[in-house]
Amino acid sequence: MLRLGRREFDAHEPVIMAIVNRTPDSFYDQGATFRDEPALARVEQAIAEGAAIIDIGGVKAGPGEEVTAEEEARRTVGFVAEVRRRHPDVVISVDTWRHEVGEAVCEAGADVLNDAWGGVDPKLAEVAARYGAGLVCTHAGGVEPRTRPHRIAYEDVMADILRVTLGLAERAVELGVRRDGIMIDPGHDFGKNTRHSLEATRRLGEMAETGWPVLVSLSNKDFVGETLDRPVKERVLGTLATTAVSAWLGAQVYRVHEVAETKQVLDMVASIAGHRPPAVARRGLA
């Protein structure tokens, strides 16, 4: 059972986390939801299309202009409060590695801290514990936030992913984070080249077998683009293929840009796996 905010999710229930970037320079949407009005419209659309979690980020993952903790908080805190006011039951996640920002957004109503940089600020897990928030424990290869990996190598990338994410998860429990609010994330592209991310996907079942809910953030990432030699805006099909494989191997939470398309993929995989009945069943019965 995964419990986030007011929601509970069964072990075989796929969960969609919709991305809402409060940045002017996101790699995918190029600032489309930087202003409040389009960002709030994006939240409405994502919920209508089936997202259970809204993941709000105030700093782009890649290199770019410096964003201070104060500026990151300015971009996210008020927005979290407004989303919470409008949607009391939606799960609100904030993508941050800074404990100061984590504290401010939890005060504003956030339910989950999405630590995409793998515990670089150890105090963030303490904030999650103090506020009863969920926590995403990510493998980022030890790289500094907002930097790209350079000639990074692993003897066994999945072994390293398991070592790091399980270590972060157990530390979080020791600090007082609720066990049923913790997710582990292999961190596609973070501290990895394309071959590493492909292997992490291929071996995702090893993460699912640990019993921790697995979150994957696959949407339109570089490993998809390099695998298919496609620019950012032409990676949806590759993303959805990777989503289907991840679902079959046991991932539960999917951080995505395309909510409606992802939901269809996840519903189809769940039905093939026997966890979801067909929406209709008329063929051969008339």
60 as an active site residue: the answer is: no
Residue 200 structure tokens = 């992490």
Measured CA to CA, the distance from residue 53 to residue 247 in angstroms comes to 17
For the chain, the domains span: 2-273
Alpha carbons 267 and 63: distance in angstroms, whole number: 35
Q: Which two structure tokens, joined as six digits, stand for 157?
A: 């990338």
Annotated catalytic residue within 255, 276, 282, 283 = 255
**2-273 topology per CATH:** TIM Barrel (3.20.20)
Report the alpha-carbon distance of residue 75 to residue 94 in Å, rounded. 11
From the candidates 221, 230, 276, 283, give the one annotated as an active-site residue: 221
**233: exposed, middle or buried (Cβ count in 10 Å: 0-12, 13-18, 19+):** exposed
What is the C-alpha separation between 256 and 51, in angstroms, rounded?
9
pLDDT by 10s per residue, the chain, length 286: 999 999 999 999 999 999 999 998 777 776 678 889 999 999 999 999 999 999 999 999 999 989 999 999 999 999 999 999 999 999 999 999 999 999 999 999 999 999 999 999 999 999 999 999 999 999 999 999 999 999 999 999 999 999 999 999 999 999 999 999 999 999 999 999 999 999 999 999 999 999 999 999 999 999 999 999 999 999 999 999 999 999 999 999 999 999 999 999 999 999 999 999 999 999 998 7
CB-neighbour burial class of residue 276 (10 A; exposed 0-12, middle 13-18, buried 19+) = middle
Does the annotation mark 255 as catalytic? yes
On whether the CB atoms of residues 158 and 196 are closer than 8 A, the answer is no
